[in-house]
Homo-oligomer: A and B are copies of this chain.
Amino acid sequence: MNDANTTVGSTVYHQIKHDIIFGELAPGAKLKLNALKERYAASLSTLRETLNRLASEGFVDAPAQRGFFVRDVSPEDLSEIAGLRILLECHALELSLANGDTEWESNLVAAHHKLSRMEKKMLLGDKSSKETWKRYDWEFHLATIQACRSQNLLDLHSIIYDKYLRYQNLVLTHRGEIASQEHADLLDAAIFRDADRAKDLLKKHIIGGLAHTSDAMDWKMVDTYA
């Protein structure tokens, strides 16, 4: 994230990952090397490196000698992902609230302000900047847990967050107004260092998103995340 990686491999990695998360490469789709070669203008070896990386992160399936597929979606998987996001993000949130300094606080307020502005724009019907909005949403949630002092935890969370995001992107509608209020409440609890309230709000926020997605997909969920 930090270095301006100009290598072909790194560029292709971010492109394909983006296309999977934003649904431009559909769940279950076969990823034929020669087709990808044209689409992303990279050689077979470079593409294979990329797909192996995405496979170990769980965005791609790589059955032996059968090529590569976009990881399929399912109600069970969504439920697991939501459960893991609750587990990891709540834990990180608690640590972050215990450790965050003033610098962390001001970054958090700034991230929320950016997100809040974007949410108002979206509520007025501006559908043009969906991806920017999703990025601000990510930056806000990241800002809350940034002070957790565990890079390993942040790395794990980042992958789970992206998987959760892919499910959200599969459905066309959003729960804008509700989510916006939940973000504001979460910011408030975080600034006041009320870990229990913040964790509870976050959990409800995630479950709310899960319910919205599974409803739109017409999936009946069994609540095993708890």
Task: Write the residues of chain A forming the contact surface with B, with a CB cutoff of 8 angstroms.
Answer: 3, 5-7, 9-10, 45, 48-50, 52-53, 55-58, 63-65, 77, 80-81, 83-84, 87-88, 91, 95, 149-153, 155-156, 160, 163, 224
Contacts and interface: CB of A to CB of B under 8 A. Distances in A.
Contact of A52 (B52, B95, B151): B52
A83 to B, nearest CB: 7
Nearest to A163: B152
B53 A84 contact: no
A7 to B, nearest CB: 6
Nearest to A88: B87
Question: Most B CB atoms within 10 A — which of A3, A53, A160, A224?
Answer: A53
Contacts of A57: 56
The 4 A-B residue pairs with the shortest CB-CB distance, nearest first, are: A80-B152, A45-B45, A80-B150, A53-B56
B84 A150 contact: yes
A24 to B, nearest CB: 21
A3 B45 CA distance: 23
Contacts of A160: 152
A48 B44 CA distance: 12
Contacts of A153: 80, 83-84
A112 B163 CA distance: 35
Given A55-B53, A56-B56, A149 B7 contact: no
B45 A81 contact: no
Contact of A156 (B7, B55, B156): B156
A64 B163 CA distance: 25
Contacts of A58: 152, 155
Contact of A64 (B3, B64, B65, B95): B3
A92 to B, nearest CB: 10
